């Protein structure tokens, strides 16, 4: 399994741990959770914690494309935590595909990422 989800105590914050390659099956778990949270809270905030992440398989990439089109305006902040240069680049690349404010944090900055997501 390359995806773990954790909603912060009924808040609008969804923590997502991703590793390996994201697949169609991962999006079948991820998207309903996002849909539920958007219905309950309006806009949500997402923390992507990338741990030994290697991108997407073809089905996962297609699902990611559909997800970004559907949820373009539903996410207000995205914090990405990683430790690879290409992951930092991905945080810049994804900005045109979301209305969310996107920030990248190195692994030692995980606490700072949480604080930023929790700010009003």
Note the pLDDT tens digit of each residue in 3-47: 899 987 889 999 999 999 999 999 999 999 999 999 999 999 999
Q: Among 3, 8, 37, 18, which residue's Cα sits nearest to residue 80?
A: 18
Tokens read off for 21 = 């390659």
Task: Classify residue 9 by its DSSP letter.
Answer: T
- The band of 96, judged by pLDDT with boundaries at 50, 70 and 90, is confident
Domain count across the chain: 1
Answer whether 27's CB lies under 8 Å from 65's CB: no
Query: Which domain covers residue 88, as residue numbers?
Result: 3-118
CATH number of domain containing 100: 3.30.750.24
């Amino acid at each position: 399994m390359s995806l773990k989800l954790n909603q912060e105590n009924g808040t609008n914050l969804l923590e997502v741990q991703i590793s390996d390659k994201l697949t169609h099956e991962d999006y079948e778990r991820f998207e309903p959770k996002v849909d539920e949270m958007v219905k309950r809270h309006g806009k949500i905030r997402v923390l992507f914690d990338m741990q030994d992440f290697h991108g997407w398989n073809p089905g996962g990439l297609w699902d990611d494309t559909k997800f970004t089109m559907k949820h373009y305006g539903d996410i207000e902040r995205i914090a990405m935590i990683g430790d690879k240069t290409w992951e930092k680049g991905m945080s810049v690349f994804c900005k045109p595909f979301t209305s969310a404010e996107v920030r990248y944090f190195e692994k030692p900055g995980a606490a700072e990422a949480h604080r930023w997501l929790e700010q009003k």
